[in-house]
């Protein structure tokens, strides 16, 4: 069993030794719950098709690396988005120092975590927004692909180049992408190139870039559709309004800009439509997402963070457009409970679990290796997504509502139905031809898993469900 209380005890001494600056005063947060889960079923297996990823935020050689990797394994994470920091690797022109990353990649793979390498952050002597800098970046990317071929076969071209991590224009990024993609393939024919990696679902910027880049220069399009504090199903995106429209595009876009009044999947639809218009449909990956649990504007409660993490992942898989989701990040980036950038993790800064840690871990145990079958209900208020486990001859229904109370009706087979909440609390309903043959099930904003033999079917029922 994976016991998160024991995990916290194991890690606390390490944290106190490694981070003395945060140990001087009283802890700013403490979890007081315990969840026992079965071991992750594919603990150290490398599963290329898994949708479950995380942003590792690891530094090669950090002293508590093993604790982080074990926590990711406990979560059931199968992909890690890892920075390969250009300025750390190329410390003099044309001279690359890979050894620390060799060790990091091997340790990640030993824990069943495949690597998505993010190539970003230039040394001072290269400017990637210039032709010469793009050429230097392509050489760096080619060298990375050659060295790690067979160990890292997915490479991301920069991070959020539509925002503060990039000092050039969309045209400059297009030149970088067009140079780096073919260079990577030259070194590793099996490599896959992940393009854009943009903040927001920025279809305006994406259109300017991709019109200038050959479609064969990249394989996957990635984006970071943060939308705190709104739920993914909400037809309003406060974050896009305040940050994208009013800040990034102040004076350029009206406050009724179309994507402000869309759900996450409607925004995604705009991106897929753009790719089709350009004649370059590609799989989509969400390579950053989270709901910040800070106590301040745009924050959400830790319990709601857990609910929304599950809902977002299931929506993404059920959309049939998004292949993988990478949560930002494993742990909080600090201990300030009021700070948005600190409160991002599934775990606290000391790696003790938040509710979202337990919810994510139970989600991977329920859904890893399952096949999406259909959506019995897909909004706007009620969602029921059906997954199939052929090996166990079972269906798994994930059901929730974007409102406090709703009802669905599920057929109860003779073997009965097993219900789990997001933390794995189990309830069983036996078959009764009169009372439970067609069972009315209350659902809420917190998802439930309904498990039974193949052939389960759900229908939406009006409140109160009779």
Domain harbouring 422, CATH code: 2.60.40
Q: The domain that contains 185 carries what CATH number?
A: 3.20.20.80
pLDDT (mean) for 326-331: 98
Q: Are residues 85 and 141 in the same domain?
A: yes
Q: Which residues pair with 449 in a beta bridge?
A: 398, 420
Q: Are residues 206 and 88 in the same domain?
A: yes
Q: Are residues 11 and 48 in the same domain?
A: yes
Q: Are residues 36 and 85 in the same domain?
A: yes
Residue 466 lies in a domain: no
Domain carrying residue 427: 373-461
- For residue 44, how many other CB atoms are within 10 A of its CB? 11
Kind of pairing between the strands at 90-92 and 322-327: unpaired
Task: Write down how long the chain is.
Answer: 466
Q: How confident is the model over 269-326, as pLDDT tens digits?
A: 999 999 999 999 999 999 999 999 999 999 999 999 999 999 999 999 999 999 999 9
Q: Are residues 339 and 419 in the same domain?
A: no
For the chain, the average pLDDT equals: 94
φ/ψ (deg, to 5) at 30: -150, 130
**Cα distance between residue 249 and residue 245, in whole Å:** 5
Q: Are residues 131 and 239 in the same domain?
A: yes
Q: Are residues 161 and 86 in the same domain?
A: yes
Which of 344, 369, 394 is a domain's end point? Answer: 369
Number of domains within the chain: 2
Q: How confident is the model over 65-104, as pLDDT tens digits?
A: 999 999 999 999 999 999 999 999 999 999 999 999 999 9
Q: How confident is the model over 108-165, as pLDDT tens digits?
A: 999 999 999 999 999 999 999 999 999 999 999 999 999 999 999 999 999 999 998 9
Question: Are the CB atoms for 237 and 243 separated by under 8 Å?
Answer: no
The whole-number pLDDT of residue 18 equals 34
Which of 369, 399, 420 is a domain's end point? Answer: 369
Q: Are residues 324 and 263 in the same domain?
A: yes
Q: How confident is the model at residue 9 (pLDDT cuts 50, 70, 90)?
A: very low
Q: Are residues 455 and 411 in the same domain?
A: yes
The whole-number pLDDT of residue 20 equals 36
> Is the N-terminal amide bond of 380 cis, ω within 30° of 0?
yes
| pTM: predicted TM-score of the whole model, two decimal places | 0.94
- For residue 440, how many other CB atoms are within 10 A of its CB? 13
Residue 126 lies in a domain: yes
Strands of 305-425, DSSP E: 322-327, 371-378, 382-389, 394-401, 406-411, 417-420
Instruction: Report CA Rg, the chain.
Output: 23
Which of 369, 390, 411 is a domain's end point? Answer: 369
Q: Are residues 385 and 318 in the same domain?
A: no
Contacts of 236 (CB under 8 A, 6+ apart): 230, 260, 261
The whole-number pLDDT of residue 463 equals 80
The whole-number pLDDT of residue 26 equals 79
- Report the SS3 class of residue 459: strand
Q: Are residues 351 and 407 in the same domain?
A: no
Residue 264 clears pLDDT 70, i.e. is over it: yes
């Amino acid at each position: 069993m994976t016991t998160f209380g024991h995990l916290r005890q194991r890690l606390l001494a390490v944290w106190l030794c490694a981070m003395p600056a945060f140990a001087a005063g009283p802890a700013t947060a403490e979890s007081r719950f315990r969840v026992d889960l079965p071991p992750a079923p594919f603990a150290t297996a490398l599963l290329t098709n898994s949708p479950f990823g995380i942003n590792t935020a690891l530094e090669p050689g950090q002293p508590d690396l093993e604790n982080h990797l074990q926590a990711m394994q406990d979560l059931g994470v199968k992909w890690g988005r890892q920075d390969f920091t250009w300025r750390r690797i190329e410390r003099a022109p044309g001279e690359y120092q890979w050894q620390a990353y060799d060790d990091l990649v091997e340790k990640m793979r030993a824990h069943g975590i495949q690597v998505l390498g993010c190539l970003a952050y230039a040394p001072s002597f290269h400017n990637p927004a210039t032709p010469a800098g793009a050429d230097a970046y392509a050489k760096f990317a080619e060298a990375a692909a050659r060295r790690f071929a067979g160990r890292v076969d997915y490479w991301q071209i920069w991070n959020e180049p539509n925002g503060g991590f990039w000092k050039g224009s969309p045209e400059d990024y297009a030149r970088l992408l067009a140079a780096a993609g073919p260079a990577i393939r030259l070194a590793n024919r099996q490599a896959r190139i992940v393009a854009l990696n943009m903040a927001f679902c920025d279809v305006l910027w994406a259109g300017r870039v991709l019109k200038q880049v050959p479609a064969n220069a990249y394989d996957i399009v990635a984006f970071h559709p943060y939308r705190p504090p709104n739920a993914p199903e909400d037809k309003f995106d406060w974050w896009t309004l305040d940050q994208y429209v009013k800040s990034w595009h102040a004076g350029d876009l009206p406050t009724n800009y179309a994507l402000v009044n869309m759900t996450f999947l409607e925004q995604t639809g705009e991106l897929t439509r753009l790719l089709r218009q350009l004649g370059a449909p590609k799989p989509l990956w969400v390579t950053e997402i989270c709901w910040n649990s800070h106590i301040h504007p745009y924050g959400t409660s830790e319990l709601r963070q857990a609910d929304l993490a599950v809902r977002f992942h299931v929506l993404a898989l059920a959309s049939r457009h998004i292949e993988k989701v990478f949560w930002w990040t494993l742990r909080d980036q600090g201990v300030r409970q009021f700070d948005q950038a600190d409160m991002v993790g599934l775990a606290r800064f000391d790696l003790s679990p938040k509710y979202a840690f337990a919810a994510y871990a139970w989600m991977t145990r329920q859904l890893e290796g399952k096949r999406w079958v259909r959506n019995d209900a897909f909004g706007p208020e009620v969602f029921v997504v059906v997954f199939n486990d052929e090996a166990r001859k079972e269906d798994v229904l994930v059901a929730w509502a974007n409102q406090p109370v709703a009802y669905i009706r599920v057929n109860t087979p003779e073997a009965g139905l097993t219900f789990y909440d997001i933390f794995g609390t189990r309830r069983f309903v036996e078959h009764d031809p009169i009372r439970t043959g067609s069972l009315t099930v209350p659902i809420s904003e917190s998802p439930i898993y309904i498990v039974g033999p193949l052939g389960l079917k759900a229908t939406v029922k009006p409140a109160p469900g009779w």
